Amino acid sequence: MSPKTQKKTKKQIIQEAAVRLFRDKGYSATSMRDLADAVNLKASSLYNHISSKEEILKDICFENAHRFLDGMKEVESLPGTPAEKVEALLRLHIRAATGDAASVMAFNDEWRHLAEPLLSEFMALRRDYERRFMAILKSGMQSGQIQDMEPVVALHTLFSSMRWLYDWFQPGKKLSSEKVEEDMVRMVMKGLVK
């Protein structure tokens, strides 16, 4: 182990290359040969580090699911109005999308390629997260702080609104992630028109 930086395992290197390929070409269109080329191995050698193509996708999907669920737990335990909680979660989503774009994109767009029983397990985590997010929205509507509308419409519109970040945003290039975060939070919370 290097004193300065944690040494990456070959498995981590493979996962990071996979995540980039999944973003660029999609999970199905990425072959194990593509992945092997990206890490200078032969396809068969990948299997010394990972057990299958699906395992890589599974790891991406579940790591991100737990990242968001951990964030939710923290927000729930904090004091604050529903609108403040929604803003905190919004910032969590934005930071994940700008800071770890490829991974969050694979998590968002490629989970449907999971096979059972992983697919059901993943969808259960997702539903749990959505249910808890919606509970916050509903309580904000009841207290009159959040606009009265279909909670499910608010939830999905909010989630969706960040989905351009990971196939567009290039950190440090022209726009800072701080400026993007501030503009997006303002637009989602206060709207496009004055």
Partner DNA sequence: CCTACCGATCGGTAGG
Which residue, 49 or 163, is less far from DNA as judged by CB?
Answer: 49
CB of 176 to a second copy, least distance (A): 10
- 160 vs 35: CA distance, rounded Å: 29
> By CB under 8 A, is residue 113 in contact with a second copy?
yes
H helix or E strand, kind and range, residue 160? helix 151-160
Q: CA 151 to CA 153: how far, in whole Å?
A: 5
70 binds a second copy (CB under 8 A): no
Distance of closest approach, residue 1 Cβ to DNA, in angstroms: 18
Say which entry of a second copy, DNA, none residue 31 contacts (CB below 5 to 8 A, set by partner kind).
DNA
Say how many C-beta atoms besides its own lie within 10 A of residue 146's C-beta.
20
Please list every residue from 5 through 34 that binds DNA, using CB under 7 A: 10, 30-34
Burial class (CB in 10 A: 0-12, 13-18, 19+), 181: middle
Say which residues have a Cβ less than 8 Å from residue 73's Cβ, sequence separation at least 6.
none
Omega into 3 within 30° of 0, i.e. cis?
no
CA atoms within 13 A on the CB side of 181: 17
Residue 152: which of a second copy, DNA, none does it interact with, CB under 5 to 8 A by kind? a second copy
Of 37-45, 87-95, 144-152, 161-169: span binding DNA (CB under 7 A): 37-45
| Cα(184)–Cα(115) distance, integer angstroms | 35
Q: Which of 26, 88, 119, 138 binds a second copy (CB under 8 A)?
A: 26
Decide if residue 52 touches a second copy (CB under 8 A): no
In the block, residue with structure tokens 């493979």: 14
Q: Which residues bind a second copy (CB under 8 A)?
A: 25-26, 28-29, 83, 86, 109, 112-113, 140, 144-147, 149-150, 152-154, 156-165, 168, 175, 179-180, 183-184, 186-194
Q: Which residues bind DNA (CB under 7 A)?
A: 10, 30-34, 40-45, 47-49, 51-54
